[in-house]
Amino acid sequence: MNQTRCILLVALCSCSRPSSAPTPSSAPTPAVTPVTDVKVWGNLREMMREGRTESRVAIGPLLATPHMFAVGAMAGMRGEITVLDGTAWLAVGERNSGRATLGVADDGAALLVASYVSGWSRLTITEDIPFASIDQRIEALAAAAGIDVDKPFPFLIEGRFADVRWHVLKGPPVAGAPHDHTGNAITGEQAMIDGTLVGFFSKHHHGSFTHMGQNVHAHLVNASAALAAHADQFSVRASSILVLP
């Protein structure tokens, strides 16, 4: 073998050695939080302003899939529906002063917002959050945790709440009465209460499943007080836990 052929063979062998530098396919892929599907039946605007209070979905069959979380209004606007990890609470405004009970029987929902979530991350809230800042703080904390805040998502807050105002519907508004979602409801106030907030955040569903000007629809659950009601106002105390999918 002459000198020229030897040099060429060495060069070819060198080029065939695998490079130690990572290729695009072997480079690490950044973690991406999957989008949690949020399902909506009914519509707030249609329910409150157009009288569409009929059942849009049966609640019972939805519970067959594990890990359901939901908030909504019963058919006929007779009360509130709250589902916490597959456990359904019904609060009927014309029964027991709106106290919540377990179970769904054959009830339907005029409005229901739901997700199925089997895995959550937990974040300690380090400072009090006043109600006026709830939307902004949940959005900021969720974005920092990798949630796509341009899409609707469920959340929980476990801990202590102050200056709470809540309501439980007890029927549709009187025909011709001014629009007021608490006008035909059992209402209550708590200076301080422990519990779990079941909520949904969206910047794009005003009048659909959040009230106009608000990004959050949330219900407060306190089992010992038989409370599972729509949270109209609340502040969150430091050391509470924000739970995100």
136-164 residue pLDDT tens: 999 999 999 999 999 999 999 999 999 99
Per the model's pLDDT, the better-predicted residue between 1 and 141 turns out to be 141
31 conformational bin, left if phi > 0, alpha if psi -120 to 50, beta if neither? beta
- Calculate the average pLDDT of the chain: 86
CATH architecture for segment(s) 39-244? 2-Layer Sandwich (3.30)
> For residues 231 and 161, what is the distance between their CA atoms, to the nearest angstrom?
11
> For residues 84 and 37, what is the distance between their CA atoms, to the nearest angstrom?
16
- pLDDT exceeds cutoff 50 at 38: yes
- pLDDT exceeds cutoff 50 at 22: no
Cβ contact 204:212 at 8 Å: no
> For residues 92 and 108, what is the distance between their CA atoms, to the nearest angstrom?
13
> For residues 55 and 109, what is the distance between their CA atoms, to the nearest angstrom?
5
Q: Indicate the pairing of strand 68-74 with strand 39-41.
A: unpaired
> For residues 219 and 241, what is the distance between their CA atoms, to the nearest angstrom?
16
Q: Indicate the pairing of strand 79-84 with strand 121-124.
A: unpaired
Tell me what the mean pLDDT of segment 4-30 comes to: 39
Question: Domain coordinates of the chain in residue numbers?
Answer: 39-244
- pLDDT exceeds cutoff 70 at 209: yes
Write out pLDDT tens, residues 163-180.
999 999 998 877 666 666
> For residues 180 and 178, what is the distance between their CA atoms, to the nearest angstrom?
6
Q: What is the pLDDT of residue 103?
A: 82
Q: What is the pLDDT of residue 50?
A: 86
- pLDDT exceeds cutoff 50 at 217: yes
Write out pLDDT tens, residues 77-129.
999 999 999 999 999 999 888 999 998 868 899 999 999 999 999 999 999 99
pLDDT band with cut points at 50, 70 and 90 for residue 205: confident
Q: Encoding tokens for residue 187?
A: 């209402």
φ, ψ dihedrals at 196, nearest 5°: -125, 125
Q: DSSP string spanning the chain? A: --HHHHHHHHHHHHHHSPPSSPPTTTSPPPP-PPPPP-EEES-HHHHHHS---S-SEEHHHHTTSSSEEEEEEEGGG-EEEEEETTEEEEEETTSGGG-EEE--TT-EEEEEEEEE-S--EEEE--S-B-GGGHHHHHHHHHHHTT--TTS-EEEEEEEEEEEEEEEEE-SPPPTTPPP-TTTTEEEEEEEEEEEEEEEEE-SS-BTTTB-TT-SEEEEEEEGGGTEEEEEEEEEE-TT-EEEE-
